């Protein structure tokens, strides 16, 4: 006899693990392995030449190349559209589901997933240690969701999952592990890349920078990270994270300020 949803019983939910990648040969294997609880793993790669695609395929993932890279939001939406199942669990290549999260999601899927989405915190590694305060914690993200009731949205490069109005979101305590930066130089390169993308995205929306953005926003971000969010508890890492967050904000709006002038000159 088929389960009766009105009686609270649902059939097990089949899951697709979805990952986007580019030049992640040092991290893709752990990411794919952590999705072993899914019924399939789909890796969308934007043209890696370092063996990322081959490693993912060797571990059983279905690898699809989609290039040129269309943007973080667009690539992640493309990934869930390639999935065989409507319920998807999404990770970046520098993330992995912790054993506790794997067990929890497996348990939920066996009982039948409900609502529209599930959100969970991220354990962010920074320069050799997991940080427990500041902007990096709890850093909750929706990563498990029904693609019929949610999609990837936001403004590049800061994508997010957007759930349909009224869609139920359940909060989980088990975490994703996030190896945010390989080293400090990688952090600087990421800031340089992401602020350029963010400035262009804001300009495309008609946004323009002003003195407030340059002089008030960066110090406010610093105080929020270090004091309000108690980043000082992470010691020098907490101070550095706050300083780099302020620098990121300043650089994004500085680029936005000059972007319209550059375009006019062209």
Does pLDDT of 262 surpass 90?
A: no
d(CA 1, CA 215): 66
Overall average pLDDT of the 19-37 stretch:
98
Question: How does residue 1 score in pLDDT terms, banded at 50, 70 and 90?
Answer: very low
Domain 5-179 has CATH 2.40.10.10: no
Does pLDDT of 257 surpass 70?
A: yes
pLDDT digits (tens, 9 = 90+) for 227-246: 999 999 999 999 999 999 99
d(CA 156, CA 185): 22
Does pLDDT of 266 surpass 60?
A: no
Does pLDDT of 226 surpass 70?
A: yes
Kindly state the percentage of the chain with pLDDT values over 90: 92
Question: How does residue 264 score in pLDDT terms, banded at 50, 70 and 90?
Answer: very low
Does pLDDT of 132 surpass 50?
A: yes
> Domain coordinates of the chain in residue numbers?
5-179, 184-265
Overall average pLDDT of the 5-23 stretch:
86
To the question of pTM greater than 0.85 for the whole model, the response is yes
Does pLDDT of 10 surpass 90?
A: no
Overall average pLDDT of the 199-203 stretch:
93
DSSP for 50-89?
Answer: SSHHHHHHHTT-EEEE--S---HHHHHHHHHHH-SSSEEE
Tokens representing residue 244 in the block: 């780099």
d(CA 252, CA 189): 14
Question: How does residue 9 score in pLDDT terms, banded at 50, 70 and 90?
Answer: confident
pLDDT digits (tens, 9 = 90+) for 55-72: 999 999 999 999 999 999
Does pLDDT of 2 surpass 60?
A: no
Question: How does residue 201 score in pLDDT terms, banded at 50, 70 and 90?
Answer: very high
Strands 169-171 and 117-120: parallel
pLDDT digits (tens, 9 = 90+) for 147-178: 999 999 999 999 999 999 999 999 999 999 99
Give the pLDDT confidence score for residue 4 in this predicted structure. 46
pLDDT digits (tens, 9 = 90+) for 61-119: 999 999 999 999 999 999 999 999 999 999 999 999 999 999 999 999 999 999 999 99
Give the pLDDT confidence score for residue 259 in this predicted structure. 87
Residues contacting 1, CB < 8 A, separation 6+: none
Average pLDDT in the chain: 94
d(CA 227, CA 238): 10
Give the pLDDT confidence score for residue 260 in this predicted structure. 67
């Amino acid at each position: 006899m088929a389960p009766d949803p009105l009686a609270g019983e649902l059939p097990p939910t089949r899951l697709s693990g979805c990952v986007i990648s580019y030049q992640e040969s040092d991290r893709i294997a752990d990411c794919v392995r952590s999705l072993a609880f899914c019924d399939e793993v789909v890796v969308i790669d934007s043209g890696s030449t370092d063996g990322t695609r081959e490693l993912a395929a060797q571990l059983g993932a279905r690898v699809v190349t989609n290039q040129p890279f269309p943007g973080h939001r667009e690539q992640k939406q493309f990934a869930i559209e390639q999935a065989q199942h409507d319920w998807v669990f999404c990770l970046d290549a520098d993330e992995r589901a912790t054993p506790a999260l794997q067990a929890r999601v497996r348990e939920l899927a066996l009982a039948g997933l409900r609502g529209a989405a599930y959100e969970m915190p991220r354990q962010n590694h920074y320069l050799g240690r997991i940080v427990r305060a500041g902007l990096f914690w709890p850093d909750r993200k929706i990563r498990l969701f029904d693609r019929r009731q949610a999609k990837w949205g936001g403004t590049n490069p800061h994508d997010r999952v957007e759930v349909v109005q009224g869609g139920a979101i359940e909060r989980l305590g088990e975490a994703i592990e996030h190896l945010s930066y390989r080293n400090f130089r990688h952090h600087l390169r990421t800031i340089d890349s992401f602020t350029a993308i963010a400035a262009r995205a804001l300009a495309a929306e008609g946004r323009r920078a002003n003195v407030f953005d340059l002089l008030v926003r960066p110090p406010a971000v610093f105080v929020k990270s270090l004091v309000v969010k108690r980043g000082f508890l992470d010691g020098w890492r907490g101070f550095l994270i706050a300083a780099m967050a302020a620098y990121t904000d300043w650089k994004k709006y500085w680029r936005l300020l000059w972007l319209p002038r550059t375009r006019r000159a062209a």
